[in-house]
Amino acid sequence: MIPVRCFTCGKVIADVWEEYKARTEQGEDPKTVLDELGVRRYCCRRMLLTHAELINEIVPYL
Amino acid sequence: MTARDRRAGSGEEGSERGAAMEVEILELTDMEVKFILRGVEPSFANALRRAMLTEVPKLAIDEVNIYENTSPLFDEILALRLALIPLRAENIDEFVFPEECECKGEGCGFCQVSFTLSAQSPESVGERVVYSDELISSDEKVRPYPNIPIVKLISRETRINGIKTISRQSVMLEAIARLGVGKKHAKWQPATVCGYKNLPVIEIDEKKCDLCGKCVEECPKQILEATTVLRVKDEKLCSLCKLCEDVCDRDAIKVSYDKNSFIFNVESDGSYDAWELVLRAARALRGKYVKLAVVVAEVAERTKALA
Q: Cα dihedral sign for B240, B33, B137, A4?
A: negative
- Size of the A and B interface in Cβ pairs below 8 Å: 55
Question: Residue B190's pLDDT is what?
Answer: 95
Question: Residue B59's pLDDT is what?
Answer: 96
Question: What is the reported pTM?
Answer: 0.85
Compare CB distances from B72 to A4, A5, A55 and report the shortest one's residue.
Answer: A55
Residues of A in contact with B267 (CB under 8 A): 11
pLDDT single digits (tens) B264-301 = 999 999 999 999 999 999 999 999 999 999 999 999 99
Q: Determine contact: A42 vs chain B, CB below 8 A.
A: no
Whether the per-residue pLDDT at B6 is higher than 70: the answer is no
Report, as an integer, the average pLDDT of B107-112. 88
Compare CB distances from A4 to B81, B129, B189 and report the shortest one's residue.
Answer: B81
Residue A43: strand, helix, or coil: helix
Q: Cα dihedral sign for B217, B242, B267, B80?
A: positive
Q: Determine contact: A14 vs chain B, CB below 8 A.
A: yes
Whether the per-residue pLDDT at B8 is higher than 50: the answer is no
Nearest CA in chain A to B271: A12
- Residue B50: name the closest of B270, B257, B288 by CA: B288
Q: Determine contact: B149 vs chain A, CB below 8 A.
A: yes
**Domain B58-188 CATH superfamily:** DNA-directed RNA polymerase, insert domain (2.170.120.12)
Band (A60; pLDDT cuts 50, 70, 90): confident
Q: Determine contact: B192 vs chain A, CB below 8 A.
A: yes
Distances (CA, A) of B251 to A41, B138, B242, B256: 35, 66, 12, 14
Question: Residue B19's pLDDT is what?
Answer: 58
Question: Residue A62's pLDDT is what?
Answer: 76
Residue B57: strand, helix, or coil: coil
Nearest CA in chain B to A5: B84
What are the beta bridge partners of residue B172? B68, B118
Q: What percent of chain B has pLDDT over 70?
A: 94
Query: Chain A closest CA to B7's CA: distance in Å?
Result: 27
Listed in sequence order, the residues at least 6 apart from B77 whose beta carbon sits closer than 8 Å to its beta carbon are none
**Domain A14-61 CATH superfamily:** Homeodomain-like (1.10.10.60)
Per-domain boundaries in chain A: 14-61
Entry field: residues in chain A: 62
Q: Determine contact: A28 vs chain B, CB below 8 A.
A: no
Q: Are both B3-56+191-268 and B58-188 of the same fold? A: no
CA torsion B292→B294→B297→B298, rounded to 10°? -110
Contact call for A1 and B193, based on CB within 8 A: no
Per-domain boundaries in chain B: 3-56+191-268, 58-188
Per-position DSSP letters for B191-256, written without gaps between them: EEEEEEEEEEEEEE-TTT-----HHHHH-TT--EEESSSEEES-GGG-----HHHHH-SS--EEEE
Nearest CA in chain A to B85: A4
Query: Chain A closest CA to B167's CA: distance in Å?
Result: 11
Contact call for A58 and B72, based on CB within 8 A: yes
Q: What percent of chain B has pLDDT over 90?
A: 78
Distances (CA, A) of B295 to B43, B255, B290: 21, 43, 9
Query: Chain B closest CA to A28's CA: distance in Å?
Result: 22
Question: Residue B7's pLDDT is what?
Answer: 44
CATH architecture of B3-56+191-268: 2-Layer Sandwich (3.30)
